[in-house]
Structure 1
Amino acid sequence: MNADSPDSGRLPLEGVVVVDLTRALSGPFCTMVLGDLGATVYKVESEPHGDMTRTWGPFHDSESIYYLSCNRNKRSVAIDLRSERGRSAVMDMLSHADVFVQNFKPGVAEEIGFGPDVLRKRHPRLICADISGFGRGGPYQDWPGLDQVAQGMSGLMSLTGDPGGAPTRVGVSIADMTAGLWLCIGILAALAARPHTGSGAHVSTALLSSLVSMLGVNGQRYLSSGEAPSRTGNDHPVIAPYGVFQAADGPLSIACATQVMWSHLCKELNEPDLAQDPRFIDNASRVSAREPLREVLNQLLGRRSREYWLARLLPAGIPAGPILTVAEVFNDPHVIASGGIQSLPHPRTGTLRVAANPIVFDGVRVGGDGLPPPRLGAHTAEFLAELERRRAMPVSKS
């Protein structure tokens, strides 16, 4: 395949060719990151409608905003995967590819001839990667999996929301995107190992296991002590004060992770004696007296604005920041100055602004000078011409 990159000679995955049969979010998010890092990603979509998210509203100049959010730096190839001819073209493509990614329902890839055992036998150096809802080897392996279900079954919703309130979904599709990132890490590891092993690998992850692995201290708390953590709202489960407090003009995050920070906070609040209050003398006491502590801090912070308090707390080494809306985030001077928004030329929307990949590689945000999310089949002719050229060449992948 043609592995030219928009950032040729600079991006780390230049020359890596990815065949992407994923749709919705988890798989496309993974392959978008690979594309941002310089890989040539061929997004293979079934005719006539392509990725299901192309039809999901709302829309930006007739383009699905959902689709636009997770498909930059890819080339769209429209092929009928239900036909023998279409499947044959994809199989030939894999002779010259490095990575194959799919997130079909369990068993579908095998049914259409793209299971990992078949592919690795035919293409020994190919890295076969997939995401499912629940992974293999358990009683749920054949269940269909979606982000909402994974969030509930992972325990994450039991930790999210107000104390005494209902379990709450995280505000973004965190299971999909976390699984996509884990799969991307696995693919990168397989690419790094291949020069040493001489062969590809089968890399897989699942929505459920991806979130279970991220339970962190809350998961370890149960595994080590048998204590099941509960919802603590905006508060840290084991540190105080560490959460959301109210200034005169709105909410403010303050995170006192150490005793020194607590002492400094009391000083900046012009209440140095508060640090010696028996109710708040150490972290364990403050966690036990979380509500009285919140009342005291809100009363003190409510005297002045967020801007005033940030100007005092940050120089004192106390981590703090305002609570922003999405609109405020994308108009924030630091987000803008640090490259958090990237602009791509799009044939229908004109300039398309997207949330940037956060990786800075040798001082440059990756993916910024790349391709916009492609129109359905925009690169089919290019791909087929390149495939014919490659068919006449010996297969040689380093």
Structure 2
Amino acid sequence: MSASQTRRQGPLSRFTILDASRVRAGPTAIRTFADLGARVIKLEIPPGAPGGDDMIGSRDHNRADYENLHRNKESLTLNMKEPQGLEILHALVKTADVFIENYRPDVKYRLGIGPDDLRAINPRLVYASISGFGQDGPYANWPGFDSIAQGMGGLMSVTGQPGAGPMRVGIPIADLCAGHFCAQAIMAALLEREVTGEGQWVQSSLLESQIAMLDFQAAQWLIDKKVPQSTGNEHPLTVPTGVFATSDGYINLAAIGNTMFRRLCQALEMPDLVDEPGMGSDPERVRNRGRVNAAIGAAFKLRTTADWTQRLLQAGVPCGPIYTVDRMFADPQVQHLGMARTMHHPELGDIEVVALPMQFSRHPRNDGPLQPAPYQGDQTEQILGGLGYSTEQIAALRAQFVV
């Protein structure tokens, strides 16, 4: 057994996952399982076969993204359009726990790898699908992209400066959240399987995930019939919050409620502001947002970000500096949390990737080395050999672009 096939330690090390997903949302869901010890076999279209993998997130297009997204996985090249390719998939499905795909909804049925097809082979299989807009409905076959979901899911309407028009978020949040929600659904289905012995089909979509992430702003419309508007860096329901310029940069402030506002005014050495008309409650301060921000904004410009951060935290007022990514990773708390993990790469040497943002008391996340993202088809021979294919048979399959 190769090192890549050796069972790694972790709370999910007993599970095997077949990952037929591409781009971002699906690989994000499965990275969680790979980091927690599951065996993940990444199914990729063989070189020379029609179709090819998407450029986004590929090794050639964005090496850093690829290494961060596909670590701890194995790679099997497999053309599922060919009968022999389907035979191999079926053999893998017999002992797999999860199969995940994020094709357009109709593609899996045309390939003959839909949930009913694969669960007929293994009723314990949890079949996971991620789509742009859901598995059925009027938009089911629309291509799903993060920015489109951000717009249709309402997020862009509440992002950006007031009056400046819609603004997308700086990360692919619809993709990422669809992946994380899908991972939760898979976990729930695996838990339910322990009781019933049956797998099931679980789904998430970029649109549904983005709407769910609106949370209280979605509830404002559903319950109060109020359409939320963009408020820039500020909170729509409480003032003062948001970004304020200091003498050497910026500070993030969250003085929510009357108690915090009093503490803030004391720390800013302007206690009389609390008693001015229009300052007595969050709703009043929201109505007088401009006057509140102008008053405290002038005070913030008199000291450095570090000085204000120390003063406000001592006063019990939530605040913090605003970092660029390099300064964020240099922060002592971030370093203490170990959010950058070292991974040895055979070509790149020691590189760092983003750590899993979870802690387990009996499974420390720094136990054992991370495995670099595989090259396309790295484990094809080992995986097929484990299914009983000979060297000659594998060579023949390669010649036919089956693997």
TM-score normalised according to structure 2 size: 0.91
2:385 maps to what in 1? 385
1:121 maps to what in 2? 120
d(CA) in 1 for partners of 2:61, 2:379:
25
Percent identity, aligned pairs only? 38
- The structural deviation recorded for 1:331 is 2.0
2:324 maps to what in 1? 325
Structure 1 residues 135-150: aligned runs within 5 Å: 135-150=134-149
d(CA) in 2 for partners of 1:189, 1:130:
14
1:44 maps to what in 2? 43
2:401 maps to what in 1? none
- The structural deviation recorded for 1:32 is 0.5
Give the 3-state SS of the residue equivalent to 1:388 in structure 2: coil
- Any unmatched runs of 5+ in structure 2? 390-403
d(CA) in 1 for partners of 2:236, 2:375:
46
- What CA deviation, in whole Å up to 9, does each residue of 1:259-295 have, x standing for no partner? 1111111111111111111121211111111111111
- What CA deviation, in whole Å up to 9, does each residue of 1:206-229 have, x standing for no partner? 100011111111100001111101
d(CA) in 2 for partners of 1:368, 1:292:
55
Q: Which deviates more, 46-55 or 234-243?
A: 46-55
d(CA) in 1 for partners of 2:360, 2:374:
25
Give the 3-state SS of the residue equivalent to 1:77 in structure 2: strand
- What CA deviation, in whole Å up to 9, does each residue of 1:314-350 have, x standing for no partner? 1221110011111211222221221010111112211
Preserved CA contact (<8 Å) 2:19 2:99 = yes
2:174 maps to what in 1? 175
1:303 maps to what in 2? 302
Preserved CA contact (<8 Å) 2:45 2:53 = yes
d(CA) in 2 for partners of 1:242, 1:97:
49
Q: Which deviates more, 324-333 or 288-297?
A: 324-333
Preserved CA contact (<8 Å) 1:16 1:97 = yes
- Any unmatched runs of 5+ in structure 1? 390-398
- What CA deviation, in whole Å up to 9, does each residue of 1:116-156 have, x standing for no partner? 11111221110000101110332111211111111110000
Q: Which deviates more, 125-134 or 332-341?
A: 332-341
Preserved CA contact (<8 Å) 1:3 1:39 = no
d(CA) in 2 for partners of 1:69, 1:173:
15
- The structural deviation recorded for 1:51 is 5.4
- What CA deviation, in whole Å up to 9, does each residue of 1:1-48 have, x standing for no partner? 997433x2xx21111000000110000011111111111100011111
- The structural deviation recorded for 1:104 is 0.8
Residue type matched to 2:372 in 1? P
d(CA) in 1 for partners of 2:346, 2:59:
19
Number of matched residues? 382
d(CA) in 2 for partners of 1:207, 1:368:
33
- The structural deviation recorded for 1:366 is 6.5
- Give the direction of change, closer, same or farther, for the CA distance of 1:57–1:253 in structure 2 (3 Å limit): farther
Preserved CA contact (<8 Å) 2:344 2:370 = no
Preserved CA contact (<8 Å) 1:45 1:51 = no
d(CA) in 2 for partners of 1:54, 1:47:
17
- The structural deviation recorded for 1:351 is 1.3
- The structural deviation recorded for 1:182 is 0.4
Residue type matched to 2:360 in 1? F
d(CA) in 2 for partners of 1:193, 1:139:
31
